Amino acid sequence: MNGVLDLCQLTGLSNEQCKIILGVAQNLQIIADISQADIFIDCLLEEENAALIVAEAKPATIPSLYQNSLLGQIALEDMEPGVLFSLKTGKSISGSRGITEESGVMQQDIVPIKDLAGETIAVLIKEKDISREVQQEKNIGKLMKTTEADDKQDVIKSIIVQEIHHRVKNNLQVISSLLRLQKRRTSSKEVANVFQDSISRISSMALVHDHLAQSGIGEANVKTLIKQVASLLVTSSSTPDQNISVSVEGESVFCPSDKATAVALIVNELIQNSIKHAFLLRDEGNIDITLTVRKQMVTIIVMDNGCGIGDSFLPSETSSLGLQLVDMLVEERLQGVLSFLQSDKGTKVSITFPIIESQD
Ligand SMILES: Nc1ncnc2c1ncn2[C@@H]1O[C@H](COP(=O)(O)OP(=O)(O)O)[C@@H](O)[C@H]1O
Ligand SMILES: [Mg+2]
């Protein structure tokens, strides 16, 4: 959601100056999406000592700080001293904090928009919810006070690791939101499918980091992850008239983040394939996934009761990306083996890999 007001009528600015502001306004949505913040352009109303909100964009990647549109509203100096200061002096302000509508904490950054002569004609404002970061700072402060000196390093390390996973997840979500926006703009089904494949790969990777950020330990429960990937795919990829059920059985296996990410991507491709290719001529299907662990060797079997992939199928010989990616991930990231098993009905794929670190 965004909008731009008819500038020249409302402000005393020249045509040329309005064109510059409109140029910036055209990119407002993408700025809001990538920075995960509400973005505004304000112009000065000289007689009134106030600013007019002439353009706005709400982020598509996270909830906006505002329930309603602020377009056309007037900000008085008392309410928005920073905005007026920046409009009048042409100086940037970054890092000032305020309170959101929901009583959270937000950070406001303001930069001037200038014309070719260097005169400030508007300001670009970014407002971002930083409640989580502020809460985190408080928690760390508290923890530091109560933790014994010897344990402090460990506490700091675990907080940093958790924070990194959170940020990785967040960045991946922004990337998939941007791809989703691009997917909506294409009229080609083929291009939309390529975007959808990338979106689901990225979402599966984000699940791993979400899991690790929440669990607070360095290892992810692969069984839980596979369940999450499966339910995400069945809801996002199957068509409404398809009735596809997925079961995940077997033991819980814990893996470090790099292996867990590889497993999530592999399972993503295999389930995606079953949904896309196995049940073409039918409206019902089962996908069964089982995990077994024997002496630190993990085996994951993904099986569907669809039309089957053909007896002499070799992933290294296919020209499509999906199974090549699976082949590569199993070999290089898991140091494991991939095989297509004989099955009287449907497709049965097995991957086996060690969960101990190799010595080399
Ligand atoms: N579970 C399955 N059931 C039937 N056919 C499959 C299955 N998985 C893969 N295939 C076949 O193998 C081909 C290669 O798969 P893949 O490399 O993932 O490419 P894509 O899914 O993009 O077509 C598919 O196009 C499909 O014909
Ligand atoms: Mg595929």
Residues 231-255: pLDDT tens digits?
A: 989 888 777 778 899 999 999 999 9
- Looking at the chain, the domain(s) classified CATH 3.30.565.10 span 147-354
Residues 184-203: pLDDT tens digits?
A: 889 999 999 999 999 999 99
2-132, what's its fold? Beta-Lactamase (3.30.450)
- Whether 104 has a pLDDT exceeding 90, the answer reads no
pLDDT at 218: 75
pLDDT at 5: 62
Backbone φ and ψ for 126, nearest 5 degrees, come out as -115, 125
pLDDT at 160: 82
Considering only CA atoms, which of 325, 328, 327, 333 is closest in space to residue 358?
A: 333
- Looking at the chain, the domain(s) classified CATH 3.30.450.280 span 2-132
- Name all residues whose Cβ lies below 6 A of ligand 1: 269, 273-274, 276-278, 304, 306-309, 318, 320, 322-323, 347
Q: How far is the CA of 193 from the centre of ligand 2 (A)?
A: 11
Which of 40-54, 92-106, 130-144, 327-341: highest mean pLDDT? 327-341
Answer whether 129's CB lies under 8 Å from 170's CB. Answer: no
Q: How far is the CA of 306 from the centre of ligand 2 (A)?
A: 15
- Whether 311 has a pLDDT exceeding 90, the answer reads no
User: Can you tell me the distance from the alpha carbon of 94 to that of 320, in angstroms, rounded to the nearest whole number?
Assistant: 48
User: Can you tell me the distance from the alpha carbon of 166 to that of 136, in angstroms, rounded to the nearest whole number?
Assistant: 12
- Per CATH, is 147-354 categorized as 3.30.565.10? yes
Residues 72-101: pLDDT tens digits?
A: 999 888 888 899 999 999 999 998 888 888
Q: What is the mean pLDDT of residues 258-285?
A: 91
Q: How far is the CA of 268 from the centre of ligand 2 (A)?
A: 9
DSSP 64-101: -S-SS--TT-EEETTT-HHHHHHHHH---EEEEEEE-T
- Whether 3 has a pLDDT exceeding 60, the answer reads no
Residues 175-185: pLDDT tens digits?
A: 988 898 889 88
